[in-house]
Structure 1
Amino acid sequence: MRFLVDECTGPAVAEWLRSLHHDVFSVYDEARGLDDESIIEKANFGNYILVTNDKDFGELIFRMKRPHKGVILLRLKDERYKNKIAVLRRVLELYSDKLANNFITVTEKTIRIVGERRGRRGGSFI
C-alpha cells in the first residue's frame, strides 16, 4: 500500500510502515512544513492513504470537499509513537481492505469509517 505520513504523526510511524514494505512518503522527512492543502493534494494525486493526527483534514474533506484516496485520522490519548504503531497495526490487520477512499477515525478503543457515499460504519476496536 501507499501511505503519506503527516509531519505531526512522526518519522517512527513512517519507518515502521516502510519496514512492512509499504511505499511511504514522510512529510517529516521529505517536506517538513508543507501546509495541509498541499498534503491532501499530494496524497490524492500520488494515490496515497494519508495517516495523520491533525483534525483539520476532516474540515478539508467534509466541509471543503477536497478529494482524497483515504485518510486514517488518529485521535489518541496516548500520542507516543509506540501507541500510534500499535493502533495502526490493528487497523491494518482488521481493516486493510477498507482503507482506500474512506475516512477512518481511530481511537484506542473505537474505529469509525466514513465511506465514499458518506455511509458510516463503526464499532468496537479492541
Structure 2
Amino acid sequence: MSQIRLYIDEDSGNLSLVEALRNSAVDVMTTPDANKLSSSDEEQLIWATEEGRVIYTSNMGDFCRLHRTFAERKRTHSGIIVATRQSYSIGAQWRGILNLMAAKSAEEMINQLEFMGGYIRAE
C-alpha cells in the first residue's frame, strides 16, 4: 500500500500548511509547483490523477460536482479531500491530513471523496 501523495490546489495553497506537511515528510505539490495556476478544476483533477496525487481543496461545490461527473462517466481520479471550512486553522488542517494519511492508502483513495472534518479531532 502506497502513501498518499498530495496536490494542493489554489484555493487551499497556504504556504504554512505546505511547509508543515513537507516538514512531516509528506510528498506535496502545489499549483505553482506544477505550473497549473489558473487551470480549470477539471484540468487540476486530471493532472493530479495523471501524477498519482490526491487533490486537497476547499472548493467543495466544484469538486463534489466533478467527483459525481467522473463517477457517472466511469472516469477514474486519484482522490479528492475537501476542507469544508476555510476557517480550519493550519494546525487543524495539518493534523487532519496526517490523520487521513494514517487511515488510508493512496490505493484506498482512488475515486474517493473525503471530507477533512471527519479527520480533524479536538485535541
CA distance 1:51–1:77, change in 2 (3 Å) = closer
> Do residues 70 (structure 1) and 79 (structure 2) align?
yes
Q: C-alpha displacement at 1:90, in angstroms?
A: 3.0
Larger relative contact order (Cα-Cα within 8 Å, sequence gap ≥ 6): 2
* 101, 104, 118: which one aligns with 2:114: 104
Unaligned residue ranges in structure 2 (runs of 5+): none
Q: Percent identity of the aligned residues?
A: 24
Match of 1:89 in 2: 95
Number of residue pairs the alignment of both structures matches? 109
CA distance 1:93–1:39, change in 2 (3 Å) = same
1:10-49 to 2 correspondence within 5 Å? 10-12=13-15, 13-29=17-33, 30-49=35-54
Give 2:19's aligned amino acid: E
| Root mean square deviation of aligned Cα | 2.5
Unaligned residue ranges in structure 1 (runs of 5+): 113-123
Higher helix share: 2
CA separation in 2, counterparts of 1:48 and 1:77?
A: 21
Higher strand share: 1
Query: TM-score when scaled to structure 2?
Result: 0.72
